[in-house]
C-alpha cells in the first residue's frame, strides 16, 4: 500500500503546481491561458496555506478562513481580468498577448 | 473607535454611487463636490485622531497609531488631488484632438472605484492580521486595474489594463505564496505573533524574496517595473497620477507591515539585498528617463527612480520616519508635476517634452509651479524633496552603506539633468509663436495651489519631520528589540 503522505509530499505538490503556473504565465500567448496559469499559481498558494494549517497550526482555523477570503479575492480579480480582456478583444480582435505592443510603438513613432 | 475616517470614505463612496443611479445626468456634476467633501472630512477625522493619540478597535484587529495616521493622510491627499485633477476630463473640458480618445465617462463609478481603492489602502496600514492584510492589499490593487482600463473606447487604455492586470495578478499570486510560507514558518496569522515566532533560515529567505516581488510590483522596483512605462502611457493621466502616488504608498504600507512587524528581527539579514535592489532601481530608472521624449513615460521612469531612493530607508530600523516623511513629500510633489501635465494635456493635447517650450511665456505661474515641483523631485535644497532625500541618505550612511550613498548622489545628479530638460523647454526655448495664455480651470488651480503650498511648507517647517519622528518610535522599537 501507499505510505501516508507527509507534509513534504504535500509541499512538493504545491511547489510543483506553482512552477507549472509560472511556466504557463511565461509561455502562453493567449491572455486567457495566462489567466488560467495565474489561477493555478493562486491555487497552489491556497493549497500551501491549507497544508500549513493542517500540519503546523492544526488547532485553529485561521488558515482555512484566510483561504476562503483568498478564493473570493481571486474571483474578483478574474472578473476584472475577463472584463479587460473583452474590451481588449473588441479593439484588437485577438487575445494574443504578443500583439499588445501598440503603446510602445506609439511612444516611439513620435520621437 | 478609531475607524471613523474609513467609515466616512465608504459612506461617501456609496453616496456617490447612489447619486449616479438616481440623479438625472445633468445633476451628476454634484458628485464631485460630494466626493471632495467626504475626502476632506475623512482627512480632518484622521488629523483629529492623530491629535487624540493611538488606539485600537475590534480587540486589536485594527490599530491606529502615528505611522498609520501619516499614511492615511498621504492616501487621502492623493485621493483628494486625483479627484480634483480628473474633474476637467469628467466635465468634458479638454481639447479634442483627432485620433485621441480622452474623455472619462461614468463619473459616479469612477469616484466609487477610487474611493474603495483608498479605503483598501487605509485599512492596509491599520491591519494587524494576515487575513486583513491580504484582503486590503487586493482591495488596494484590483480597482486600479479597472481604473487603468477605464477608457474602454481607447485601445491604448485597454492594452495598458491588460498588461497591468496580468502582471498584477501574477505578483499577487507570488506574494500570496510568500505569505503562506510565512504563515507556515510561524504558525499564526497575527502579525505580531508571526514576528515573535519567526527565525531566519532558507525558507524565510524564500518567503521574503516572494513578498518583495509583490511589493516590488506595487513600488515599481527594478526588475518588477516593466509595467510602469506602458501603463502610465496608456492610462488616463489622472489615473496615472493616482497610480504613481497612492499605489506606491500602499506598497510602502504593506512593506512597513511586513518588514517591521513580521520580519523585524530578520530585517538586518536582508539589508544587503535591499541595498542592491535600491541601487539597481534608481540607476535604471534614471538612465532610462534621460532618453524619454513622452512626459508620461518620463514620469514613469522618474517614479521608478524615486522608489529606489525610498527603500533605502529599510536598511536600518531607524529609517521608518524618513520613509514616512519622504512618502508624504513624494505624494504632494508628484501631484504638483502631474497637475501641470494634466492641465497642459487637457488644454492643448500636447504630451511630448519638447511641446512644453515657451510655457513660461504663456503661463508664467504654471511654469513656476512646474519648475518648483521638478526641482523638489530632483532634490534642490530649499524644497521638501531635498530634506526627504537627505534623511534617507543619512539612514543608508548610518547603516554603513557608503557605496549606496555615493550611487544615490550620482543618480541625483543625473536626475537633475533630465528634470532640467523640461525646465529648459519651458524657460529657454522659444514658444509656439503667439500662443495666448491658457486659462486653467478652478479645479486644476485648487489642486496646484494646495499641493504646491504643502510641498514648500513640508520642506521649510521642521514640525512635520519632528512629529513623524516622535510617532514612529514605537515601530522602530518593535524592530530593534528583537
Helices B364-378 and B384-398: angle between axes, nearest 10 degrees: 0
Mean pLDDT to the nearest integer, B38-56: 90
Cβ partners under 8 Å of residue B405, min gap 6: B393, B396, B397
A76 interfacial to chain B (CB closer than 8 Å): yes
Q: What is the pLDDT of residue B481?
A: 55
Per-residue pLDDT band for B65 (boundaries 50, 70, 90) equals confident
Bridge partners, A96 (sequence order)? A30
Cell numbers at residue B367, please? 511654469
What ipTM was predicted for this assembly?
0.92
Q: Do B169 and A110 touch (CB under 8 A)?
A: no
Least confident span in A32-41, B98-107, B173-182, B256-265: B98-107
pLDDT tens digits, B389-414: 999 999 899 888 999 999 999 999 99
Q: Does the reported pTM lie above 0.90?
A: yes
Q: What is the pLDDT of residue B479?
A: 59
B213 interfacial to chain A (CB closer than 8 Å): no
pLDDT tens digits, B269-299: 888 889 999 999 999 999 999 998 889 999 9
Per-residue pLDDT band for B440 (boundaries 50, 70, 90) equals confident
Residue B113 near residue B148, CB atoms below 8 Å: no
Q: Which one, of B65, B33, B43, lies nearest residue B467 by Cα?
A: B65
Is the pLDDT score of A111 beyond 60? no
Domain ranges for chain A, please list them: 7-109
A104 interfacial to chain B (CB closer than 8 Å): yes
Q: What is the pLDDT of residue A110?
A: 45
pLDDT tens digits, B111-139: 999 999 999 999 999 998 999 999 999 99
Residue B45 near residue B5, CB atoms below 8 Å: yes
Q: Using a CB-CB distance cutoff of 8 angstroms, which residues of chain B are in contact with residue A100?
A: 159, 162-163
Cell numbers at residue B363, please? 503661463
Domain ranges for chain B, please list them: 4-481
Nearest to B180 among A38, A49, A69 (CB): A49
Residue B349 Ramachandran class (φ > 0 left, ψ -120 to 50 alpha, else beta)? left
Q: Using a CB-CB distance cutoff of 8 angstroms, which residues of chain A are in contact with residue B184?
A: 48-49, 51-52, 56
**C-beta atoms surrounding B24 within 10 Å:** 6
Distance from CA of A19 to the nearest CA of B (A): 11
- Give percent of chain B with pLDDT exceeding 90: 51
Class in CATH terms, A7-109: mainly alpha
Distance from CA of A42 to the nearest CA of B (A): 5
Q: Do A52 and B149 touch (CB under 8 A)?
A: no
Query: Cα separation of B98 and A101, whole Å?
Result: 21
Query: Cα separation of B323 and B125, whole Å?
Result: 14
Is the pLDDT score of B375 beyond 80? yes
Burial class (CB in 10 A: 0-12, 13-18, 19+), A63: buried
Cell numbers at residue B146, please? 479597472
Residue of B nearest to A39 (CA): B173
pLDDT tens digits, A9-65: 999 999 999 999 999 999 999 999 999 999 999 999 999 999 999 988 888 888 899
Residue of B nearest to A100 (CA): B159
Mean pLDDT to the nearest integer, B59-65: 86
Per-residue pLDDT band for B10 (boundaries 50, 70, 90) equals very high
Backbone angles phi, psi at A103, to 5 degrees: -65, -45
Nearest to B170 among A38, A52, A85 (CB): A38
pLDDT tens digits, B325-351: 999 999 999 999 999 999 988 888 888
| A77, A82, A98, best to mutate vs chain B, most B CBs in 10 Å | A77
Is the pLDDT score of B146 beyond 60? yes
Query: Cα separation of B72 and B125, whole Å?
Result: 8
Q: What is the pLDDT of residue B123?
A: 93
Residue B372 near residue B452, CB atoms below 8 Å: yes
Mean pLDDT to the nearest integer, B450-457: 92
Amino acid at each position: 500500500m501507499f505510505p501516508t503522505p507527509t507534509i513534504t509530499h504535500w509541499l512538493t505538490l504545491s511547489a510543483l503546481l506553482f512552477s507549472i503556473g509560472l511556466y504557463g504565465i511565461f509561455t502562453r500567448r493567449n491572455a486567457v491561458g495566462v489567466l488560467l496559469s495565474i489561477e493555478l499559481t493562486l491555487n497552489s498558494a491556497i493549497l500551501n496555506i491549507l497544508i500549513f494549517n493542517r500540519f503546523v497550526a492544526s488547532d485553529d482555523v485561521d488558515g482555512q478562513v484566510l483561504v476562503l477570503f483568498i478564493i473570493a479575492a481571486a474571483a474578483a480579480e478574474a472578473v476584472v481580468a475577463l472584463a479587460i480582456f473583452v474590451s481588449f478583444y473588441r479593439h484588437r480582435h485577438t487575445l494574443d498577448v504578443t500583439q499588445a505592443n501598440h503603446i510602445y510603438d506609439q511612444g516611439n513613432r513620435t520621437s | 473607535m478609531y475607524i471613523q475616517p474609513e467609515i466616512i470614505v465608504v459612506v461617501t463612496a456609496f453616496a456617490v454611487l447612489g447619486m449616479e443611479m438616481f440623479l438625472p445626468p445633468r445633476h451628476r456634476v454634484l458628485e464631485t463636490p460630494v466626493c471632495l467633501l467626504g475626502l476632506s472630512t475623512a482627512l480632518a477625522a484622521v488629523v483629529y485622531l492623530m491629535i487624540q493619540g493611538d488606539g485600537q478597535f475590534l480587540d486589536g484587529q485594527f490599530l491606529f497609531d502615528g505611522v498609520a495616521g501619516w499614511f492615511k493622510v498621504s492616501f487621502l491627499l492623493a485621493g483628494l488631488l486625483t479627484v480634483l485633477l480628473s474633474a476637467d476630463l469628467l466635465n468634458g473640458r479638454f481639447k479634442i484632438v483627432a485620433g485621441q480618445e480622452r474623455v472619462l465617462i461614468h463619473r459616479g463609478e469612477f469616484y466609487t472605484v477610487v474611493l474603495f481603492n483608498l479605503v483598501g489602502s487605509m485599512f492596509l496600514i491599520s491591519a494587524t492580521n494576515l487575513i486583513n492584510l491580504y484582503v486590503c492589499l487586493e482591495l488596494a490593487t484590483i480597482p486600479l486595474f479597472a481604473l487603468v482600463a477605464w477608457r474602454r473606447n481607447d485601445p491604448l487604455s485597454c492594452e495598458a489594463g491588460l498588461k497591468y492586470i496580468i502582471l498584477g495578478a501574477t505578483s499577487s499570486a507570488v506574494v500570496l505564496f510568500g505569505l503562506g510560507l510565512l504563515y507556515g514558518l510561524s504558525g499564526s496569522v497575527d502579525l505580531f505573533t508571526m514576528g515573535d515566532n519567526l527565525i531566519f533560515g532558507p525558507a524565510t529567505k524564500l518567503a521574503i524574496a516572494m513578498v518583495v516581488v509583490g511589493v516590488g510590483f506595487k513600488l515599481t522596483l527594478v526588475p518588477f517595473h516593466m509595467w510602469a512605462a506602458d501603463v502610465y502611457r496608456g492610462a488616463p493621466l489622472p489615473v496615472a497620477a493616482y497610480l504613481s502616488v497612492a499605489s506606491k504608498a500602499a506598497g510602502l504600507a504593506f512593506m512597513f507591515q511586513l518588514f517591521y512587524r513580521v520580519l523585524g528581527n530578520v530585517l538586518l539579514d536582508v539589508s544587503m539585498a535591499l541595498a542592491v535592489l535600491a541601487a539597481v532601481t534608481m540607476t535604471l530608472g534614471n538612465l532610462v528617463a534621460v532618453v524619454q521624449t513622452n512626459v508620461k513615460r518620463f514620469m514613469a521612469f522618474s517614479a521608478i527612480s524615486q522608489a529606489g531612493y525610498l527603500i533605502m530607508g529599510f536598511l536600518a530600523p531607524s529609517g521608518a520616519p524618513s520613509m514616512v516623511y519622504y512618502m508624504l513629500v513624494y505624494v504632494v510633489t508628484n501631484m504638483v508635476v502631474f497637475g501641470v501635465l494634466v492641465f497642459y494635456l487637457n488644454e492643448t493635447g500636447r504630451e511630448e517634452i519638447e511641446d512644453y517650450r515657451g510655457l513660461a511665456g504663456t503661463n508664467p505661474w504654471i511654469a513656476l509651479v512646474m519648475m518648483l515641483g521638478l526641482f523638489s523631485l530632483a532634490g534642490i535644497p530649499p524644497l521638501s524633496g531635498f530634506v526627504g532625500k537627505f534623511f534617507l541618505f543619512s539612514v543608508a550612511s548610518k547603516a554603513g552603506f557608503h557605496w549606496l550613498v555615493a550611487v544615490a548622489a550620482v543618480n541625483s545628479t543625473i536626475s537633475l539633468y533630465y528634470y532640467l530638460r523640461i525646465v529648459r523647454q519651458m524657460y529657454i526655448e522659444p514658444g509656439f509663436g503667439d500662443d495666448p495664455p491658457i486659462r486653467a480651470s478652478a479645479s486644476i488651480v485648487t489642486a496646484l495651489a494646495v499641493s504646491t503650498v504643502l510641498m514648500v511648507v513640508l520642506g521649510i517647517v521642521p514640525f512635520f519631520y519632528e512629529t513623524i519622528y516622535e510617532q514612529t518610535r514605537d515601530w522602530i522599537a518593535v524592530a530593534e528589540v528583537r
